[in-house]
A and B are shown apart, each in its own frame.
Chain A
Amino acid sequence: MEIPLPLPDDDTRPFWEGCRRRELLMQRCAACGRFRFTPRHLCPSCRSQRCEWVPVSGRGTVYSRVICHPPVLPAFAPRAPYAVVLVELEEDATLRMLGNVLDCPPEEIEIGMPVQVDFQQLTDEITLPQWRRAS
């Protein structure tokens, strides 16, 4: 069953277009250099509209994780129980992304576990950033 897909908007489209090319891009203020995620129109520090999209390492650690048991949305039921992780990127503590660890059973995922980004193509337009266990 198909899962709900992201609906990119003007502020988030560069992120999703990067994922489609299997590149993890983060938004950075072109005026003060501050990273920000999730994407938004203005820099919350200096209020500049100017931003750049910067490739990042894709290395991070699991900052928190939950394991979702039924009842869940029917689209996710075939994979339940499944883990959702919050990954903190090594570039900045506020760059935290939700995702799934593709190569690890839910109960083996621990907070602090190193992970590396991978990409999961769902449609021609949408590729999700996902995670694999790293050493």
Chain B
Amino acid sequence: MHLSEKAAIVGIGQSEFSKNIGRSERSIALEAIGLALEDAGVTADEVDGLVRFDLESSTEVEIAYNLGIPNLRFFAEAGYGGGGGCATLALAAMAVETGRADVVVCWRARNRGSGGRPWAGTRMQVGGDQQFYIPFGLVRPVDQIAMLAARHMFEFGTTVEQFGAVAVACRKHAQRNPRAMMRAPMTLEDHRNSRTISEPLRKLDCCLETDGALAVVITSAGRARDLRQPSVAILAAVQGSGPEHVVMANYHKEPFLETPSFYAARELWRQSGVGPDDIDCAQFYDAFTPLVTISLEEYGFCKPGEGGPFSENGRLEWPDGQLPTNTSGGGLSEAYVHGFNLILEGVRQARGTSTSQVEDAELCLVTSGGGVPTSAAVLART
């Protein structure tokens, strides 16, 4: 399919990012969606598709009820927490490209800053996969990812400083972004000295706790040409899980360190017709720094095991790094809204409006959740 036939992102909108926004998730979802429609220059009357995260507290119907959408003819949801981000784009693009919908809105609204930690609600009896890890105290997402990080360090000699380099790059970009929650300078030493949460991971390896909502508007390439903003084509948006996956405790298959990103990457490059060498900047899902390390390898920017060294020497940093990464500050320093802010930053890069704009950026990689069935997209300037 030619670029001129691809579905495009034509509007973006968001609430502020805050530790405690003081309003319901539905209220901030409607704010973000309203702003995205205004940005695109389309009205709610024209929306006929909605795609949400399955963890979203508002249903598609509740959103349509509030917005006065006359008729939803496409509605869907993407699963697996942060893994669902680019999957919402994949579903919307499929709907638009096959004529199932004309204008689709995807969103994520989450009061994770004020709403408490999901793991704190762990039940006293755990079934399913959880019965094999929760009773031993492997409860928090940080513990589950630290298990991968510790093995990565053992096998490849990856260091604390190499994880720290990811956090420092994100913070440098956040300092240039007025929307970002964390803008104080950070050094590798600050990272090393931050308290241990789940050894080998420290506080500054972990994403922020944020209240916030974001939305995008997706339509056909033809319609996009008549709208207000420079349209950003979804060159490809894909999902992947890999074999014998166990969500968040994907420890029971070989190779151990291979994550769903490996499979999403393979599909993404196949469907997009481009490869890692063509990418101008990357927005990697960064709930925890080692997920970026592993993504660098699995999306093919370096060889397996070399994600640590690749992160060093400013390679991830705007403006001179080889691969400017998480140019808004990412989940580590801008905001953590299940990675949906990475999608908006990918759009801004392709529009040329990032606060850390990569010169002549044409192709931006965006990835979603690590350690879970995941998704990814290549966004293209048109």
> Does A68 contact B140, Cβ atoms closer than 8 Å?
yes
**Chain A residues positioned under 8 Å from B139 (CB to CB):** 68, 72-73, 76
**Chain A residues positioned under 8 Å from B243 (CB to CB):** 44
C-alpha spacing A15/B318, complex, angstroms: 52
Residue among A9, A38, A111 with most chain B CB within 10 A:
A38
In the assembled complex, A128 has its CB within 8 A of some CB on chain B? yes
- Across the two chains, which residue of chain A brings its CB closest to B124? A4
> Does B196 contact A69, Cβ atoms closer than 8 Å?
yes
> Does A5 contact B136, Cβ atoms closer than 8 Å?
no
- Across the two chains, which residue of chain B brings its CB closest to A112? B154
> Does A37 contact B126, Cβ atoms closer than 8 Å?
no
- Across the two chains, which residue of chain B brings its CB closest to A5? B125
> Does B136 contact A98, Cβ atoms closer than 8 Å?
yes
Contact A9:B143 (CB < 8 A) given known A37-B252, A84-B138: no
> Does A98 contact B146, Cβ atoms closer than 8 Å?
no
In the assembled complex, B115 has its CB within 8 A of some CB on chain A? no
> Does A7 contact B127, Cβ atoms closer than 8 Å?
yes
B125 interface neighbour in A7, A37, A68, Cβ under 8 Å:
A7
A67 to chain B, nearest CB (A): 4
- Across the two chains, which residue of chain A brings its CB closest to B127? A7
- Across the two chains, which residue of chain A brings its CB closest to B146? A66
In the assembled complex, B119 has its CB within 8 A of some CB on chain A? yes
Encode contact with A along B127-152: 1 for CB under 8 Å, 0 otherwise: 11101111111111001001110110
Encode contact with B along A33-70: 1 for CB under 8 Å, 0 otherwise: 00001100000100000000000000000011111110
In the assembled complex, A86 has its CB within 8 A of some CB on chain B? yes
> Does B129 contact A5, Cβ atoms closer than 8 Å?
no
Contact A100:B150 (CB < 8 A) given known A63-B256, A67-B198: no
Contact A4:B143 (CB < 8 A) given known A64-B150, A72-B137: no
8 Å CB contacts to B: which residues of A17-34?
A: none
Interface size for A (C-beta < 8 A) is 37
B124 interface neighbour in A5, A12, A97, Cβ under 8 Å:
A5
> Does A44 contact B244, Cβ atoms closer than 8 Å?
yes
C-alpha spacing A97/B133, complex, angstroms: 8
> Does B135 contact A6, Cβ atoms closer than 8 Å?
yes
A71 to chain B, nearest CB (A): 8
**Chain A residues positioned under 8 Å from B197 (CB to CB):** 69
**Chain B residues positioned under 8 Å from A9 (CB to CB):** 127-128
In the assembled complex, A134 has its CB within 8 A of some CB on chain B? no
> Does A82 contact B137, Cβ atoms closer than 8 Å?
yes
> Does B138 contact A98, Cβ atoms closer than 8 Å?
yes
**Chain A residues positioned under 8 Å from B154 (CB to CB):** 64, 111
> Does A4 contact B150, Cβ atoms closer than 8 Å?
no
**Chain B residues positioned under 8 Å from A82 (CB to CB):** 137
> Does A6 contact B253, Cβ atoms closer than 8 Å?
no
Contact A69:B195 (CB < 8 A) given known A64-B147, A76-B137, A94-B253: yes
Encode contact with A along B238-258: 1 for CB under 8 Å, 0 otherwise: 000001101001011110100
> Does A86 contact B135, Cβ atoms closer than 8 Å?
no
Contact A96:B150 (CB < 8 A) given known A3-B135, A73-B122, A76-B137: no
C-alpha spacing A66/B142, complex, angstroms: 10
C-alpha spacing A118/B366, complex, angstroms: 45
> Does B143 contact A2, Cβ atoms closer than 8 Å?
no
> Does B147 contact A66, Cβ atoms closer than 8 Å?
yes
- Across the two chains, which residue of chain A brings its CB closest to B149? A66
Known: A68-B143, A98-B136. 4 other contacts (CB 8 A): A65-B147, A66-B200, A72-B137, A79-B137
Per CB-CB distance, the 4 closest pairs between chain A and chain B, nearest first, are A6-B131, A67-B199, A7-B127, A64-B151
Binding site for B on A (CB under 8 A): 2-9, 12, 37-38, 44, 63-69, 72-73, 76, 79, 81-82, 84, 86, 93-100, 111, 128
